[in-house]
Amino acid sequence: MSSSPTHYDLLIRHGTVIDGNKAPRYDADVGVIDGRIAAIGPLAAHTADISIDASGRIVAPGFIDSHTHDDQAVLSQADMTFKVSQGVTTVIAGNCGISAAPLRDDMDLPMPLGLLEAPVHGRFTSFKGYLDALRATPSSVNVAAMVGHSTLRAVVMSGLDRPADAAEIAAMQAHVEEAMQAGAIGMSTGTFYPPAVKATTEEIIAVGEPLRARKGLYVTHMRDEADKVMEALEETFSIGRALGIPVVVSHHKVQLPRNFGRSSVTLPFIRDAMQHQCIGLDCYPYTAGSTMIRTDRGMLDGRVLIASSEPHPECAGRDLADIAREWGIDKAAAAQRLQPGSAIYFMMDEEDVQRILAFDETMIGSDGIPVGEKPHPRLWGTFPRVLGHYSRDIGLFPLETAVWKMTGLTARNFGLHERGRLIVGHHADIVVFDAASIRDTASYEQPATPAHGVDAVIVNGQLTWAQGAHRGNRAGQVLMRRAPATDA
């Protein structure tokens, strides 16, 4: 260390570092210069423009939300308060087959494409156009984005009730190639959803062909997360093998009471497959899911809360059973009348959720839907809920492991270069939080409330959240994927 004092842009003093790689915590100061972590160690003798006292606090890499639908929110709600207030500094967008680009101005958006809220910049006809807009008007978080296969089907095909033909596959391939050239990190599918139910395994492999050479990711909301979850996992892995690329199983779960407990079968199956190919998975820390309003019986058997409804916005936050009773019709008919919109479905078992969260390769992803006034509480609460409730309060795993599941592991799986670990030279995405008090406050009744215990959030060296308030900085960048040489 030089004898003359260094002047830092930002200095976090007296904190306890958790590095994002499961290493045990240690006490250190952290200095930031030009958006990078410049030094970690005893830096008390040095000066800084901004000094943060982190006594008694954890200093960790900013959290990476591995599963989001923030594609439009990063443009229209660019402060991204629902994420930065949790300590999130990077979001992965373009999940479940849905992306903000490419679209046509003259097309209707079938659900669930409509879940991405109305664009403020107009529609993007190319992926490059979308990423250019993000670069021109940055949000408060970094964004790594995928192109969605359902979006490609909607933009290319004349009808969605059949597999794509050869010409349509060629057109979709060209869009995937354009997206990858522009900086997409891969392609997602959502074969669970109407626009892609009829897509065959062969169609997905063919459309994804441009991912092979560019080592893009294949990320999927699988065809089935209930009775046929094993078949769906096998299909997912076969697509990864056919293209020679890594796969990510989105929001892994086993749905419906008759499937409760089956995570004790899916997880060993995933672990076995990991011996032969590159596989990741993520999970949100709740027993309820949220998606477009559906009318299929299985989805309506348990408790259903309406999150948003275009024709009946007054029903947001209400129980579907109560609405149906009031209207004197059954739940399926009421659900139909409330479409299009989104709902919260209680259809998982707490034991499965805990087993999947605790699986050592599981990343944390919110799957939050940033639309309406009564979203699923995961939008505001996912990361503090894992750190507070699951790690500290019930001891599901150590804090170092919890942090790794939302930083180092995620950066590795998505190929986010120099992110996700608190080491010198990395980008200065940092969160300072109180391990003793961090907790989620968002509930199903009051879902849009910030976490307790997050002291400061720094994105690319810029102080973005401090003392319970947004600081106005929008320093987010568009992140590209750098595939490690060992991939595939």
- Shortest reach from residue 233's CB to Zn ion, in Å: 15
Q: Which of 374, 365, 387 is nearest to 448 (CA)?
A: 374
The letter for the amino acid at 308 is S
Sketch the per residue contact string, 3 through 42, with Zn ion: x for CB under 5 A, - otherwise: ----------------------------------------
> By rule CB under 5 A, what count of residues binds Zn ion?
2
- Shortest reach from residue 112's CB to Zn ion, in Å: 8
**DSSP conformation class of 180:** H
Candidates 149-157, 203-211, 213-221, 353-361; binding stretch for Zn ion (CB under 5 A): 213-221
96 vs 406 by CB, closer to Zn ion: 96
142 vs 342 by CB, closer to Zn ion: 342
Candidates 23-31, 76-84, 88-96, 148-156; binding stretch for Zn ion (CB under 5 A): 88-96
Question: Which residues from 295-324 bind Zn ion, rule CB under 5 A?
Answer: none
- Shortest reach from residue 247's CB to Zn ion, in Å: 15
Structural tokens at position 248: 């990510």
Candidates 91-99, 165-173, 175-183, 406-414; binding stretch for Zn ion (CB under 5 A): 91-99
- Shortest reach from residue 284's CB to Zn ion, in Å: 10
> Is residue 221 part of the contact set for Zn ion (CB under 5 A)?
yes
d(CA 157, CA 411): 34
- Shortest reach from residue 221's CB to Zn ion, in Å: 3
- Shortest reach from residue 289's CB to Zn ion, in Å: 8
* Residue 390 contacts residue 357 (beta carbons within 8 Å): yes
22 vs 221 by CB, closer to Zn ion: 221
Q: Which of 50, 16, 8 is nearest to 400 (CA)?
A: 16
d(CA 357, CA 252): 9
> Is residue 133 part of the contact set for Zn ion (CB under 5 A)?
no
Candidates 96-104, 206-214, 336-344, 375-383; binding stretch for Zn ion (CB under 5 A): 96-104
Contact residue for Zn ion among 32, 43, 92, 96 (CB under 5 A):
96
Angle, vertex CA 419, rays to CA 384 and CA 290, nearest 5: 40
19 vs 282 by CB, closer to Zn ion: 282
- Shortest reach from residue 193's CB to Zn ion, in Å: 8
Q: Which of 487, 462, 481, 431 is nearest to 61 (CA)?
A: 431
Which residues, in sequence order, are CB contacts of 255 under 8 Å at separation 6+? Answer: 225, 226, 289, 298, 347, 348
221 vs 318 by CB, closer to Zn ion: 221
Cα 485 to Cα 215, 245, 333, 408, 419, distances in angstroms: 10, 12, 53, 17, 17
Candidates 115-123, 215-223, 446-454, 456-464; binding stretch for Zn ion (CB under 5 A): 215-223
> Which neighbouring-strand residues pair with 218?
187, 247
d(CA 217, CA 185): 6
d(CA 410, CA 218): 15
> Is residue 427 part of the contact set for Zn ion (CB under 5 A)?
no
142 vs 291 by CB, closer to Zn ion: 291
d(CA 78, CA 473): 10
Q: For the sheet containing 288-292, what is the strand order?
A: 288-292, 341-346, 304-309
> Is residue 116 part of the contact set for Zn ion (CB under 5 A)?
no
The letter for the amino acid at 66 is S
Question: Using CB under 5 A as the criterion, which residues of the chain lie in contact with Zn ion when the complex forms?
Answer: 96, 221
